[in-house]
Amino acid sequence: MPLPVSVLLPTHNCEATIRDTLESVKWADEILVVDSFSTDGTLDICRGYAARVIQHEYINSARQKNWAVPQCCNEWVLQMDSDEVLGPGAREEIEQAIAQASPNTHAFRLPRRNHFLGHWMRHGGLYPDYQIRLFRRDKGRWQDREVHAHLMASGQLGTLTHGILHSDAPCIAVRIRHVDRYTRYEADELRKRGRGFRWDDLVIRPWGAFFYRYFWLQGFRDGWRGFIYCAYMGIYVFLTRAKLWELEELNVERSPKVAEGWSLVQRDQQ
């Protein structure tokens, strides 16, 4: 029998991965797809799994999901991304968790296995990488952040042992595309919070990010993939702060030429 759970699934042009995601959650009573106007075969695949599709203009991930949550039909919501798969044993544990949840338990966190360049990364801060993904519809919402917002829920938080398999970077080229998009969002978030650029943002922080993950969080134990990932995180921090400097130096809001180019980049990368 279907579990009384609504799966919330944001999508945009993800036909290459969405079928595996849907296959792993097809047991749910409802699959609600919130799509930001895909132009490939994503929606045809989703409808093949009897998913209910709604569409909404994408501003950022948090707003997209917060807009869709109230439209879920069931009390319990499981949020999945289009490059994730629910792992073995997770369905049974979710069923048990919601059946035994006390009225004060409003959410559960699940461990996530991150796969980088085809392998599960066990160190460098990538595992268990707990994510709050199962929650009561009326008790959880995502932070108002431009990127990497966490779900905030009132009440008690439970922890599951079976979780999510995540594979967002099958090759370095995909990572490079991601880093350009997300570092722009990170810079926007810093500026929105009134965080100004400082000299150590480029000179010290990127190295700190690398050494912290590679040595303190033992990323070196994942071999060359660990080294590449930790170096990538250093570059991520460097580009985020460089773009923060760029926002301040070029003053995007008051430069029509720069603002026009910026908006074109934004539209191209959504």
Question: Could you tell me if 68 and 143 lie in one domain?
Answer: yes
Domain that holds residue 185: 171-269
Check pLDDT > 90 for residue 270.
no
Same domain, yes or no: 185 and 78: no
Say how far apart CA 89 and CA 95 lie, in whole Å: 10
Taking only the tens place, the pLDDT of each residue in 138-160 is 999 999 999 999 999 989 999 99
- pLDDT band of residue 174 (cuts 50, 70, 90) is confident
What CATH number is associated with residue 24?
Answer: 3.90.550.10
Task: For Cα atoms 11, 14, 19, give the angle at the middle one, nearest 5 degrees.
Answer: 95
What H or E segment, with its residue span, contains residue 132? strand 131-136
Same domain membership, residue 143 and residue 205: no
**pLDDT bucket at 64, cuts 50 / 70 / 90:** very high
Which residues have CB under 8 Å from 257's CB, separation 6+?
none
Same domain, yes or no: 10 and 131: yes
pLDDT band at 264 (very low <50, low <70, confident <90, very high): very low
More reliable by pLDDT, 268 or 41: 41
**pLDDT tops 50 at residue 83:** yes
Q: Is the pLDDT of residue 22 over 70?
A: yes
Taking a C-beta distance cutoff of 8 angstroms, is the pair 174, 218 a contact?
no
Tell me which of 102, 135, 168 is where a domain ends: 168
The answer to whether the Cα torsion of 150, 151, 154, 156 is positive or negative is: negative
53 and 120 both lie in a single domain:
yes
CA dist., res. 144 & res. 161, Å (int):
28
For the chain, what is the domain count?
Answer: 2
Question: What does pLDDT average to over the chain?
Answer: 92
Q: Based on the domain organization, do 177 and 157 belong to the same domain? A: no
Q: What percent of the chain has pLDDT over 90?
A: 86
20 and 66 together in one domain: yes
Residue 163 and residue 176 in one domain = no
The reply to whether 229 and 112 lie within a common domain is no
Residues 205 and 249 in one domain: yes
Residue 178 scores a pLDDT above 90: no
Residue 60 CA, distance from chain mean position: 11
Q: Are residues 98 and 194 in the same domain?
A: no
Same domain for 156 and 178? no
Name the nearest CA neighbour of 124 among 236, 240, 216, 206: 216
Task: Indicate the residue among 151, 168, 185 that finishes a domain.
Answer: 168
- With 50 as the cut, is the pLDDT of residue 33 above it? yes
| Of the residues 137, 168, 199, the one at which a domain ends | 168
What is the model's pLDDT at position 261?
53
Residue 267, Cβ density class (10 Å: 0-12 exposed, 13-18 middle, ≥19 buried): exposed
DSSP letter for each residue of 209-252:
HHHIIIIIT-GGGGHHHHHHHHHHHHHHHHHHHHHHHHHHHHTG
Average pLDDT of the segment spanning 196-214: 97
Return the minimum-mean-pLDDT range out of 56-70, 209-223, 242-256: 242-256
Asked if 150 and 85 count as a contact pair (C-beta separation under 8 A), the reply is no
